[in-house]
Structure 1
Amino acid sequence: MAASQTRARALLLTPAGLWYAALLLLPLAVVLIFSFGERNAVGGYAPGFSFDNYANLPARFAAFRNTMTLAPFGTIAALLIAYPLAYFLAFRVSERWKTTLLVLVIVPFWTSILIRSYAWIFLLGGKGIPALLESIGIDDVRLINTPFAVLVGIVYGYLPLMVFPIYVALEKLDKRLLEAAADLGTPPWRSFLQITLPLSMPGVLTGSMLVFILLMGEFLIPAILGGGKVFFVGNALVDLFLQSRNWAFGSAVAVALVVIMLIAVSLFTRALKRFSAAREDVALM
């Protein structure tokens, strides 16, 4: 019986395993192989085995620095905005309006990120917010083509992806725990810190990991709102593969980015397990 169950499980997992290998592992293997090669004389890839591409990674230090700075800051900023919004939707909105407000949160995804980013060009450009500030006596304010503009764009673009995991975690929270805490005379702020926040941490970590991973590979928003002055690793990859056609060096940069993301995901996963254990402890109290 056990052997037949093992064979049946393997048979069911084989199609998914083949797709996983073909769509994820094989492309990563190709990129890894390319990273040890050389640039062809006319561009592209030439076979070889050298660590020169990895030794040359500091040449793209600015792109890695911007990515490793703005991606975490963007994730934190999105979290600080998303958590109060998700809390409001989960606890302060009647069932009559909840669905409507949730739809409004996801409405921006119905429009291309390209169009939304160009809208921010107007808002942050000379005829937008700077012009408004100038009208009240605040002159020489430059917002577009700055790290601030990129930060605003990525927070706006990825905010819904942070809101929904937190909302789901809060919506599933056992309200009887909060009622019991209130009956025992616990202040609301203490109930939030000791019950609501720990029990919602899986949603916080899931949303943070989702947003952070996508921001690490972002290139469109920095290209539009950064005006060529704020480069992410994604912009460096576009330049290396499509402009200079240095596929070997571009592959090395991509491998370095994947390694950084794997480390970050591992840390997020460990934190998620730790807070899941804390959630069980709270539930058993």
Structure 2
Amino acid sequence: MARPRWLVPTGLLAPTGLWLGLFLVAPLALVVQFSFATRDTGVARAVLPWTAQAYATALNPAFLPIFGRTLAYAVLTTLLCLLLGFPLAWFIARHGGRYRTALLAAVLVPFWSSYLARVYAWKALLDGEGLVNTLLGYVGLDREGGFLLTHGAVVLGLTYGFLPFMVLPLYVACERFDFRLAEASYDLGHGRSSTFLRVVLPGVAPGVLAGSLLVLVPAAGDFVTPRLLGGVDQSTFGSVIDDQFRGGNNWPLGSAMAVLLLVLVVVVLVLRGKPGEDVL
């Protein structure tokens, strides 16, 4: 008997589907369930009847500054990673030569250590007695108490942590880019700025879009960096969610905020446009 055509692809997808179902869909379903509970219901049993009380609390205007701060951190981190990562990716793709592999490995070096350890390292560097404040003190630019617990410290930590996520997609896009198009643009009388905006940027737009999403999404949900490098005034949606699940003991509110953050990420993914589409 001939095998049905659907049998082979279904068999190949079954392990991945089972894995995603057990470790992604099922936990997400539990979070959604907890978000419709009340604080005194108890999260270990089914929530009946469901209530939207946690969502009403999460959408309280008092949380709007935290939401805006989270979005601002994520957008600034994405822009800084793009400004820093594009020249690096372009240089490796255009001038790396035989050293491309070594340069890419250097970009990935931070991943060889724990993210938490790297954030603690920045915490020591930005402290009042840290290396950054000490060096700036020689030119009179030091700050009392250091640069820890500031908005700049949070953005700096996020940028450092997620920069490789921007460099790698940009490198792939730059490597595939036909550099002869830029040379033809110069021959036709266009300057550097015009060539970059009209030829180079549209050509590497898929890498820009992919890198921006890879940075924006985790930066919006990160809670370790704001907690260690920031303070109460630098709290984000992620850190507030962490507080509700641990010290606050308010799982319904934490779950509702997590669902809202997930919805925000989904909206960003839906609005990102089609792959390969010009991002300008």
Task: Normalising by structure 2, report the TM-score.
Answer: 0.88
Give the SS at the match of 1:4. Answer: coil
Indicate how the Cα distance of structure 1 residues 181 and 62 shifts in structure 2: closer, same or farther if over 3 A, else same. Answer: closer
Picking from 156, 160, 165, the partner of 2:169 is: 165
C-alpha RMSD over aligned residues: 2.6
Which residue is equivalent to 1:4?
4
Which residue is equivalent to 1:92?
95
Cα offsets for 1:38-81 (capped at 9, x unmatched): 1237x645624111111101254343222111011111111111
Indicate how the Cα distance of structure 1 residues 114 and 144 shifts in structure 2: closer, same or farther if over 3 A, else same. Answer: same
Which residue is equivalent to 1:155?
159
Aligned residue-pair number:
274
Give the SS at the match of 1:76. Answer: helix
5 Å matches for 1:30-49?
A: 30-40=30-40, 44=43, 47=47, 48-49=49-50
Which residue is equivalent to 2:118?
116
Structure with the bigger percentage of helix: 1
Which residue is equivalent to 2:52?
51
CA contact (8 A) 2:167 2:211 kept: yes
Which residue is equivalent to 2:252?
248
CA contact (8 A) 1:45 1:247 kept: no
C-alpha displacement of 1:140:
4.1
Picking from 203, 208, 233, the partner of 2:237 is: 233
Matched, 1:130 2:129: no
Which residue is equivalent to 2:28?
28
Matched, 1:61 2:74: no
Matched, 1:144 2:145: no
Q: Distance in 2 between matches of 1:50 and 1:208?
A: 36
CA contact (8 A) 1:45 1:246 kept: no
Which residues of structure 2 form unaligned runs of 5+?
none
Which residues of structure 1 form unaligned runs of 5+?
279-285
- Identity percentage over the alignment? 39
Cα offsets for 1:183-208 (capped at 9, x unmatched): 44443433322221111010011011
Q: Distance in 1 between matches of 2:10 and 2:121?
A: 50
Indicate how the Cα distance of structure 1 residues 52 and 188 shifts in structure 2: closer, same or farther if over 3 A, else same. Answer: same
Which residue is equivalent to 1:180?
184
